[in-house]
Chain A
């Protein structure tokens, strides 16, 4: 049986609406207009044990709502959810004892306590047996390199240090499932790499299932074998990164540096589209089904003095942005309830 099954999940929020201006506020006192925002519109998916799934979407798409329902915080309007055999909101206390949750925007450690005391407190909260706790804690301290600031109180930690401590804190009770909501938000490059490396290792070595939301596409490229994209409360796409790419666009990018001394002419070819150019560097997009890569390169090398060139896939950001745009364009064609 799948680790996580979600079927027909619906969650709406009632949002108070007030007309602008003074009379609007007066009216609002007497009668409030509520309108419904459908955060999740019958979404469904299933996730197997040991998967590392990226869950992405623009702000307000329903990412956090999904994570909050799966982690037992929110109660959905309708739909079925089964996670490691539990329905999260029905048996919350027993369920959350078996999962780990990290919200990048906040800490679950105690501000006033030294890191190590927060860990000890979590041992009591999760009722982890002493010897298990000690070996697990020491392993996490080593993997995340926390040794240097265990006696520092949480409020004095840098964001990167705090995030590493939060990851450890979420794993002390050895959960088989980990929810990460924007774990790399605001981190510097080095901390991001450390966090990514840790997540990958955790998934590989301990077999922990990880669901990760993020706006950082590098997180996705580095970590996730599977990507789910949500927009307007629906799953827009679900599959591997290359499947996602293929479903949105076939295009590839060719970057050409023209040689010094030669004419810095604008590269002009009927089969390519210029995306941008800086000085002598031109970035072109083409469809490999219309023109093969060797043909295109040969053609360009014949007509221009080429210094260097390389072919790449469009960055994942671009792919995702396209996906959102096409979705929005389609949505604009039909009447939309939400503002």
Chain B
């Protein structure tokens, strides 16, 4: 455990140095947040029918999404993808470490650091000037943090899964194009999930992607509470476990395959 924590903290320290990227990211997300605010402004003004979320809630949802957008933008771990392509991934086996845990620690640190570096400034600006509401109670804030950590774990598990799929080059790369698009649509970053039509809701409820954004955001606003909140957290953790187990299995089989091909 100590070894993985050491790798985690070392990468966090390295990534903390990418301040310019964080500043650029904050500016970009603030800009697109304002654009999205204007779009939904127009939507709420022109809509005559009842809407499942109030205008204020939607604005809060948008800013939470802009701050935590890194939970919904996915790519594989480039360094590991390169190792897989060149076959040198086998050399990683000379370290006395469990490869999955090592890669998970990398994915987690690679996500967590830039996430926090963007979220804190965006939340501050949005709270002060752009209509982000604070959570209604302390309890909401706590549940939000719990769900946000879960979202981070799920995001890391998905990254590792997408990365290890590259051990099967052809199908790996196809899935790597498909999944980010699915996530963009089904996590709530494009359009808040409660605004989706009824017939899509049941599919979205089952898929893992809402646990990345929609779940923590609605817990923050108190839009989910009681049994619904609990079931959302159970949904999130079930998917974390499923994706981790799938990743482990594919990695184990992939390494055996890689070994058969030589290198």
**How long is the Cα–Cα vector from A126 to B3 in the complex, in angstroms?**
8
Asked if residues B94 and A127 are in contact (CB atoms below 8 Å), the reply is no
Work out how many contacts link A and B, with CB atoms closer than 8 A: 62
Secondary structure of the B contact surface, majority rule: helix
Q: Is B23 an interface residue (CB 8 A)?
A: no
Given A14-B261, A39-B262, A74-B259, are A124 and B95 also a contact pair (CB < 8 Å)? no
**Which one, B5, B88, B98, contacts A106 given CB within 8 A?**
B88
Q: Is B138 an interface residue (CB 8 A)?
A: no
Asked if residues B261 and A125 are in contact (CB atoms below 8 Å), the reply is no
Given A106-B91, A124-B2, are A112 and B14 also a contact pair (CB < 8 Å)? yes
Asked if residues A93 and B98 are in contact (CB atoms below 8 Å), the reply is yes
**How long is the Cα–Cα vector from A13 to B96 in the complex, in angstroms?**
26
Q: Is A113 an interface residue (CB 8 A)?
A: yes
Asked if residues B96 and A93 are in contact (CB atoms below 8 Å), the reply is yes
Asked if residues B261 and A13 are in contact (CB atoms below 8 Å), the reply is yes
Q: Is B178 an interface residue (CB 8 A)?
A: no
Asked if residues B91 and A108 are in contact (CB atoms below 8 Å), the reply is yes
Q: C-beta contact mask, B72-91 vs A, less than 8 Å → 1, else 0?
A: 00000000000000001011
**Min C-beta distance of A107 to chain B, whole Å:** 10
Asked if residues B88 and A113 are in contact (CB atoms below 8 Å), the reply is no
Q: Which of chain A's residues have a CB closer than 8 A to the CB of B95?
A: 96, 108, 125
Asked if residues A73 and B97 are in contact (CB atoms below 8 Å), the reply is no
Q: Which of chain B's residues have a CB closer than 8 A to the CB of A101?
A: 94
Secondary structure of the A contact surface, majority rule: mixed
**How long is the Cα–Cα vector from A96 to B93 in the complex, in angstroms?**
8
Q: Which of chain B's residues have a CB closer than 8 A to the CB of A93?
A: 96-98
Q: Which of chain A's residues have a CB closer than 8 A to the CB of B2?
A: 124, 127
Q: Is B7 an interface residue (CB 8 A)?
A: yes
Asked if residues B94 and A96 are in contact (CB atoms below 8 Å), the reply is yes
Which B residue sits closest to A74, measured CB to CB? Answer: B259
Q: Is A117 an interface residue (CB 8 A)?
A: yes
Q: Which of chain A's residues have a CB closer than 8 A to the CB of B98?
A: 93
**How long is the Cα–Cα vector from A73 to B93 in the complex, in angstroms?**
6
Given A124-B6, A125-B6, are A113 and B14 also a contact pair (CB < 8 Å)? yes
**Which one, A13, A106, A112, contacts B260 given CB within 8 A?**
A13
**How long is the Cα–Cα vector from A120 to B14 in the complex, in angstroms?**
14
Q: Which of chain B's residues have a CB closer than 8 A to the CB of A113?
A: 10, 14
Given A93-B96, A112-B14, A124-B2, are A73 and B91 also a contact pair (CB < 8 Å)? yes
**Min C-beta distance of A79 to chain B, whole Å:** 15
**How long is the Cα–Cα vector from A112 to B10 in the complex, in angstroms?**
10
Which A residue sits closest to B256, measured CB to CB? Answer: A75
Q: Is A285 an interface residue (CB 8 A)?
A: no
Asked if residues A125 and B10 are in contact (CB atoms below 8 Å), the reply is no
Asked if residues A103 and B259 are in contact (CB atoms below 8 Å), the reply is no
Which B residue sits closest to A173, measured CB to CB? Answer: B96
Which B residue sits closest to A97, measured CB to CB? Answer: B96
Given A73-B91, A74-B90, A106-B91, are A96 and B96 also a contact pair (CB < 8 Å)? yes
Which A residue sits closest to B94, measured CB to CB? Answer: A101
Asked if residues B14 and A72 are in contact (CB atoms below 8 Å), the reply is no
Residue in A39, A65, A68 whose Cβ sees the most chain B Cβ within 10 Å:
A68
**Which one, A71, A74, A97, A121, contacts B6 given CB within 8 A?**
A121
Which B residue sits closest to A103, measured CB to CB? Answer: B91
Interface residues of B (CB under 8 A from A): 2-3, 5-7, 10, 14, 88, 90-91, 93-98, 256, 259-262
A-B contact pairs, 19 of them (CB 8 A): A14-B260, A14-B261, A39-B262, A68-B90, A72-B93, A72-B94, A73-B91, A74-B259, A75-B256, A92-B93, A93-B97, A96-B93, A96-B96, A101-B94, A106-B91, A108-B95, A110-B10, A112-B14, A124-B5
Given contacts A121-B6, A124-B7, 20 further A-B contacts (CB under 8 A): A13-B260, A14-B261, A39-B262, A68-B90, A71-B94, A73-B91, A73-B93, A93-B97, A96-B95, A103-B91, A106-B88, A108-B94, A108-B95, A110-B10, A112-B14, A120-B6, A121-B7, A124-B3, A125-B97, A126-B96
Interface residues of A (CB under 8 A from B): 13-15, 39, 65, 68, 71-75, 92-94, 96-97, 101, 103, 106, 108, 110, 112-113, 117, 120-121, 124-127
The 9 closest A-B pairs by CB, nearest first: A124-B6, A97-B96, A13-B262, A125-B3, A101-B94, A73-B90, A96-B96, A73-B93, A93-B96
